[in-house]
Chain A
Amino acid sequence: MRKQLLCITAFLLLAAGSFLLADGCWIRTKAVFAQLLLQHAWEETLETGEWTKAWPWADTWPVARLQMDRLGVDLIVLEGDHGEVLAFGPGHLPESSLPGSGGHCILAGHRDSSFRFLQDLQPGDLLSLQGADGRVHCFEMQSSQVSTAETLYLQQQDSAALTLITCYPFSALQPGTDLRYLVSAEKLVLPETTGLVPHKVNL
């Protein structure tokens, strides 16, 4: 009788454990797979100049591509910041300026998937952000700070700036912490292009 009970408990544990493990892995796998699909959607966006969804029932669409060479980061940024968006990649806060529009662009991502690399960013690191018009904008990492989520109000501004947000601490296990890790980057003006340059006239 005791053996039977042990047996049942063992299998229940086995089932529950496998489910949790599978779910954990699925969250990770989903993020990776989604990025592959998103890459295609992004290329189409660049080609056609139209927002393109990666899969037909998606609630969101790619709006930018974030790259960071030193850490091998290449992420397609999605529109929106709710959970269903962030599951697939970093999201662009709809109230903030679009990448490449010259204002303050704010992106949020998961500390344990897409934005894990934020902990390794150093001041001076270069981030490149490609907007839907194909232009690549270079940002230089300035500083990082930790803030509580409730007080995290960021100023809209004239000049181009980029802020990346993720949960903090990075090593925390439970998902619902109220601390956020902020990385601020400023637009870099490349020295060779500060003078007069020809523009593709886009009227």
Chain B
Amino acid sequence: MAEGKNKKGSGVRDPGNILFILYVGLLMVMLVLTVLQDGNAAQESQERSELLLSEVRQGELLFTGSERERYIPASHLSQDVELFVSGMVVRAKVRQRFQNDTAAWQEAIYVFPLPDGAAVDQLRLRIGERLIVGEIKEKKEAKKIYERARKEGKKASLLSQERPNIFTIAVANIAPGEEIEVEIEYQDVVQLDNNVFSLRFPMVVGPRYIPGTPLTDTLEKGAVTHFSGTGWALDTDLVKDASRITPPVFWAASGKKNPVQLRVELAPGFPLARLESLYHGVVVKDGVKGTKELSFSGEVMADRDFVLEWRAEKLQTPHAALFAENRDDKNYLLLMLSPPQLDVNDAVVARELIFVLDTSGSMAGPSIVQAQKALTLAIARLTDRDRFNVIEFNSNASQLFRAAVAADSGHRLQATRFVSSLTANGGTEIASALNLALDGRADHARIRQIVFLTDGCVGNEEQLLKQIGTGLGSSRLFTVGIGSAPNGYFMTRAATMGRGSFTYIGKAAEVQEKMSSLFAKLEHPAVTDIHLTSSDGKVSRLYAEPVADLYQGEPLLVSLLLPEDHTMLAVRGMRGGRVWEEKLDIGSLANRPGIATLWARKQIRLLMDSLALGGDKETIRQQVLDVAIPHHLVSRYSSLVAVEQKVSRQQENPLQRSVMKTNLPQGWQANKIFAGRARTATPAMLHILMGLVLLFLSFFLLLRVRRLEQ
């Protein structure tokens, strides 16, 4: 026994010594490393900073620290908006007046919003009595022309597109005290949703810090899926040049500025039951032949969207509307078709929902919490009719139920518990999750909707998209981007591939609202698998793009370019499990100006979409220009530029630039920022000290052990 003890004692003692030395050695190395690296970093930074400063001094026009001027508004802006609505078509005229109140020559820059689908085709510069009409040019060329005029002292204006719904206007060489008016015109269509027609005119680009992974060419894509005047979060995700679309803002103390006058001439084509301006006080007057004229009743500052809604007296709105324009011997067509409302006799479509949740390490922190909240909400909305399953994935994927189960309360509870038990760590094996979700087991009696919650932090996007493309079958894929920086590019593309939509949730506070609207939509699919064909003998596909599914209350709205000899158009889709078909006579339609422009705008959007889907950049750019230039449209690659031939500013007078400030959107507070949330200390020193104390203790004990042995 004594021997055994002794053996044990000696057995422990030796490794003890070695271990002890090892530990101490390791600690010393780490400490030295920490100190050394600190020193290194400091030294390196010093070198870097010098390098940087010298670079700045050499830089051509980079006058740093002088940017203050940029934010002092020296010009003032007022706007006149006229909207002419005729049936579904809107023609808008926006007049922006820049008043230079300073003693210096000014260049004014204004970043402003227009409706998502606005086809901007006119720019006119009005200087007193003179009117200069803008020309459409390739974007870079337009900029060059403008720059030259600006330098030469000629009055000029450049209108370029930053986003499908955000534009920048620049007006050069405004004399001291002078006022210059810029006139912009665009073509648009009225929105129709649940028998309510609506017209939106946005007035302010909301200032917001914009998170997001860089996405260059998917902007138009975003617009297609979920973009609206209020859908800033999505746009933000796609931001690349945030500084260009975040104009400076008047904070509360300065008061609201930028007055707007607005006038609407509405010829709805039917007697109205309701006409309402949602956010502004208006005066309505009756015009000739059932038309209405509206204007603002008080002074309005550009701080919120103008929205006008109207409804027909008879609830049966025409379920199909066709407009045509013949331009340059081509027939352009705008078709709006409302599928018949599902009535009570129609069986509610049964659905199968597959929720896929990313629990990889990149979701750790606020992201997983948001995702869990979103999923819990989604599960709570299921009804007994639905079937569902939950898949979670990190380094590998697993599903809660072996196959989709009925969403009864027991299963729902089980799923909710499962979801709240999940934690985030490991890799991001989306492929295996997709394999589970797209297992090819299609239940034809049900619509299969896959809701995919992830931050999409993956590198093998192409492979995944291919997997979606081949495995989708009759399922629909809805991606939900979670967290501060989801890979919106991947998710937008995945949703397009999956014939669903992309929803972005940037803040925990948005989860409820965004998920509710997504699920409300998913609950009412109306028509799926829509195809358009011309049906006089030969069947040719007119519309190359897959038409997205229609959800309850959404009309189909397409622009077409028709071969001359076609007289019939057929729309075919699946509705409530049956084939639904509509035939339309397109033989004799009155000429309606603006339809061709709308077609061109739509065409550009489709081209931009294909760019997002991996099309060749240069080819698409050329194709966009081929449409934009003949149709005189502002696009990502083309701008409108107007230049006066006369030189008005002599070279000795310098030109100052001022960026027009915009108002904070209504309801936004020039808020105080709560800055006390951050935990700005680490337990590093505490741990080090405690560690040292413990080490000393153990050292002391070991010494005692030794002494005992001796």
**Residues of A with Cβ closer than 8 Å to B?**
2-4, 6-7, 9-14, 16-25, 27-29, 32-33, 35-36, 39, 48-53, 56-61, 67, 69, 72-74, 79-84, 86-87, 91, 93-98, 100-104, 106, 108-113, 115, 130, 132-138, 147-158, 160, 163, 165-167, 172-177, 180, 187-190, 193-194, 196-203
> When the two chains form the complex, which single residue of B27, B31, B41, B681 contacts A35, counting CB atoms closer than 8 Å?
B41
Given A13-B695, A82-B366, A154-B673, answer yes or no on A60-B484 (Cβ-Cβ < 8 Å): yes
> When the two chains form the complex, which single residue of B49, B673, B680 contacts A110, counting CB atoms closer than 8 Å?
B680
Given A18-B691, A102-B67, answer yes or no on A32-B683 (Cβ-Cβ < 8 Å): no
When distances are taken between beta carbons in the complex, the residues of chain A under 8 Å from B249 are: 103
A-B contact pairs, 29 of them (CB 8 A): A3-B705, A7-B9, A7-B16, A7-B702, A14-B23, A17-B692, A20-B691, A21-B30, A21-B691, A23-B684, A29-B30, A60-B485, A69-B46, A73-B45, A95-B209, A95-B671, A106-B675, A112-B681, A112-B684, A132-B242, A135-B62, A149-B677, A175-B683, A180-B675, A180-B676, A190-B65, A199-B70, A200-B60, A203-B158
Closest beta carbon of chain B to A150's beta carbon, Å: 6
Q: How far is the CA of A154 from the CA of B671 in the complex (A)?
A: 9
| B701 touching A72, Cβ below 8 Å | no
Q: Say whether B520 faces chain A, with CB atoms less than 8 Å apart.
A: no
- Of B32-40, B189-197, B285-293, the segment with at least 4 beta carbons within 8 Å of chain A is B32-40
Interface residues of B in 25-74 (CB under 8 A from A): 26-27, 30-31, 33-34, 37-38, 41-46, 48-49, 52-53, 56, 60-71
Closest beta carbon of chain B to A52's beta carbon, Å: 8
| A27 touching B674, Cβ below 8 Å | no
Q: Say whether B498 faces chain A, with CB atoms less than 8 Å apart.
A: no
| A100 touching B680, Cβ below 8 Å | no
When distances are taken between beta carbons in the complex, the residues of chain A under 8 Å from B26 are: 18, 22
| B241 touching A49, Cβ below 8 Å | yes
Q: How far is the CA of A106 from the CA of B680 in the complex (A)?
A: 13
Given A27-B684, A100-B67, A112-B681, answer yes or no on A82-B365 (Cβ-Cβ < 8 Å): yes
| A59 touching B367, Cβ below 8 Å | yes
Given A6-B704, A87-B682, A91-B678, answer yes or no on A74-B48 (Cβ-Cβ < 8 Å): yes
When distances are taken between beta carbons in the complex, the residues of chain A under 8 Å from B243 are: 100-101, 132-133, 202
Closest beta carbon of chain B to A86's beta carbon, Å: 6
Q: Say whether B509 faces chain A, with CB atoms less than 8 Å apart.
A: no
- Of B210-218, B267-275, B622-630, the segment with at least 4 beta carbons within 8 Å of chain A is B210-218
Closest beta carbon of chain A to B365's beta carbon, Å: 5
Q: Say whether B483 faces chain A, with CB atoms less than 8 Å apart.
A: yes
When distances are taken between beta carbons in the complex, the residues of chain A under 8 Å from B246 are: 101
Q: How far is the CA of A93 from the CA of B14 in the complex (A)?
A: 54
When distances are taken between beta carbons in the complex, the residues of chain B under 8 Å from A98 are: 209, 242
| A104 touching B673, Cβ below 8 Å | yes
| B65 touching A14, Cβ below 8 Å | no
**Residues of B with Cβ closer than 8 Å to A?**
5, 8-9, 12, 16, 19-20, 23, 26-27, 30-31, 33-34, 37-38, 41-46, 48-49, 52-53, 56, 60-71, 104, 109, 143, 146-147, 150, 158, 160, 168, 170, 209, 211-214, 240-244, 246, 248-251, 253-254, 360-362, 364-367, 457, 459, 483-485, 654, 656-657, 670-699, 701-702, 704-705, 708-709
| B672 touching A27, Cβ below 8 Å | no
Closest beta carbon of chain B to A14's beta carbon, Å: 4
Q: How far is the CA of A165 from the CA of B364 in the complex (A)?
A: 25
When distances are taken between beta carbons in the complex, the residues of chain B under 8 Å from A133 are: 243
> When the two chains form the complex, which single residue of A13, A24, A59, A196 contacts B654, counting CB atoms closer than 8 Å?
A196
Closest beta carbon of chain A to B158's beta carbon, Å: 6
Other A-B pairs, 12, CB within 8 Å; known A16-B694, A175-B682, A180-B675: A10-B16, A24-B685, A28-B684, A52-B214, A59-B484, A59-B485, A73-B45, A79-B485, A81-B677, A101-B246, A102-B67, A108-B678
| B16 touching A21, Cβ below 8 Å | no
User: Interface residues of B: mostly helix, strand, loop or mixed?
Assistant: helix
| B682 touching A112, Cβ below 8 Å | yes
Q: How far is the CA of A133 from the CA of B62 in the complex (A)?
A: 11
| A137 touching B691, Cβ below 8 Å | no
| B671 touching A156, Cβ below 8 Å | yes
When distances are taken between beta carbons in the complex, the residues of chain B under 8 Å from A115 are: 680
| B685 touching A153, Cβ below 8 Å | no
Given A18-B691, A82-B366, A157-B251, answer yes or no on A109-B680 (Cβ-Cβ < 8 Å): yes
| A175 touching B679, Cβ below 8 Å | yes
Q: How far is the CA of A27 from the CA of B158 in the complex (A)?
A: 52
Q: How far is the CA of A57 from the CA of B691 in the complex (A)?
A: 31
> When the two chains form the complex, which single residue of B41, B44, B62, B680 contacts A200, counting CB atoms closer than 8 Å?
B62
| B8 touching A23, Cβ below 8 Å | no
When distances are taken between beta carbons in the complex, the residues of chain B under 8 Å from A130 are: 52
> When the two chains form the complex, which single residue of A17, A27, A93, A197 contacts B66, counting CB atoms closer than 8 Å?
A197
| B681 touching A175, Cβ below 8 Å | yes
Q: How far is the CA of A108 from the CA of B682 in the complex (A)?
A: 13
| A193 touching B673, Cβ below 8 Å | no
| B698 touching A13, Cβ below 8 Å | yes
| A29 touching B37, Cβ below 8 Å | yes
Closest beta carbon of chain B to A108's beta carbon, Å: 4
Given A25-B30, A32-B37, answer yes or no on A80-B698 (Cβ-Cβ < 8 Å): no
| B709 touching A3, Cβ below 8 Å | yes
> When the two chains form the complex, which single residue of B68, B685, B698, B709 contacts A189, counting CB atoms closer than 8 Å?
B68
Given A11-B698, A111-B680, A200-B62, answer yes or no on A152-B19 (Cβ-Cβ < 8 Å): no
| A32 touching B45, Cβ below 8 Å | no
| A165 touching B254, Cβ below 8 Å | no
Closest beta carbon of chain A to B198's beta carbon, Å: 32
Q: How far is the CA of A58 from the CA of B367 in the complex (A)?
A: 12
| B61 touching A199, Cβ below 8 Å | yes
Given A57-B361, A180-B676, answer yes or no on A7-B12 (Cβ-Cβ < 8 Å): yes
| A50 touching B692, Cβ below 8 Å | no
Given A59-B485, A197-B66, answer yes or no on A69-B681 (Cβ-Cβ < 8 Å): no
| B61 touching A198, Cβ below 8 Å | yes
Given A50-B240, A108-B675, answer yes or no on A13-B697 (Cβ-Cβ < 8 Å): yes
When distances are taken between beta carbons in the complex, the residues of chain A under 8 Å from B5 are: 4
| A6 touching B65, Cβ below 8 Å | no
Interface centre among A21, A79, A133, A193 (most CB of B within 10 A): A21
Closest beta carbon of chain B to A172's beta carbon, Å: 7
When distances are taken between beta carbons in the complex, the residues of chain A under 8 Å from B248 are: 101-102
| B684 touching A6, Cβ below 8 Å | no
When distances are taken between beta carbons in the complex, the residues of chain B under 8 Å from A167 are: 679-681
When distances are taken between beta carbons in the complex, the residues of chain A under 8 Å from B65 are: 136-138, 188-190, 193
Q: How far is the CA of A37 from the CA of B5 in the complex (A)?
A: 53
| B682 touching A153, Cβ below 8 Å | no
When distances are taken between beta carbons in the complex, the residues of chain A under 8 Å from B697 are: 10, 13, 17
Given A59-B484, A74-B45, A175-B683, answer yes or no on A3-B693 (Cβ-Cβ < 8 Å): no
| B687 touching A24, Cβ below 8 Å | yes
Interface centre among A3, A58, A67, A138 (most CB of B within 10 A): A3
When distances are taken between beta carbons in the complex, the residues of chain B under 8 Å from A19 are: 691
| B367 touching A24, Cβ below 8 Å | no
When distances are taken between beta carbons in the complex, the residues of chain A under 8 Å from B71 are: 102, 158, 160
Given A79-B211, A173-B689, answer yes or no on A199-B672 (Cβ-Cβ < 8 Å): no
When distances are taken between beta carbons in the complex, the residues of chain A under 8 Å from B41 are: 32, 35-36, 74
| B63 touching A199, Cβ below 8 Å | yes
Closest beta carbon of chain B to A105's beta carbon, Å: 10
